[in-house]
Amino acid sequence: MCDTLENPWVNNKKNISCIPRGEYKVRLRYPRESGTRDYLHLLVEDVENRSYILFHRGNTAKDTRGCILVGLGSQQDVVNNSTLAMDLLIKEVIHLGGENINLIIKNK
């Protein structure tokens, strides 16, 4: 449905590492819950030693801050059309009921 961009693995360090492989619950996170995101986005829950891992808008690796960016099309360290991708992803999540979302991270 969309491309993603994360930081490389840096021992699960906050703000600079991707999250460890595993299975995680994901939920919708509303703008009123966030001091920085004024749009509906996704929160990855129960990441060991980490908090507030989000799927959010952004285009370059520096925008990730340890989170997952979404886009439509990608290049090295860049995703394109992030706002549209986020809107499409959220619409699909809501269309599917908006609950019981599982994220599986595995090695390529």
Residue range of the domain that includes 70: 3-105
Residue 108's pLDDT band (cuts 50, 70, 90): low
The phi-psi region of residue 20 (left if phi > 0; otherwise alpha if psi is between -120 and 50; otherwise beta) is beta
Domain count, the chain: 1
103 vs 107, more confident: 103
Q: Is the pTM of this model over 0.75?
A: yes
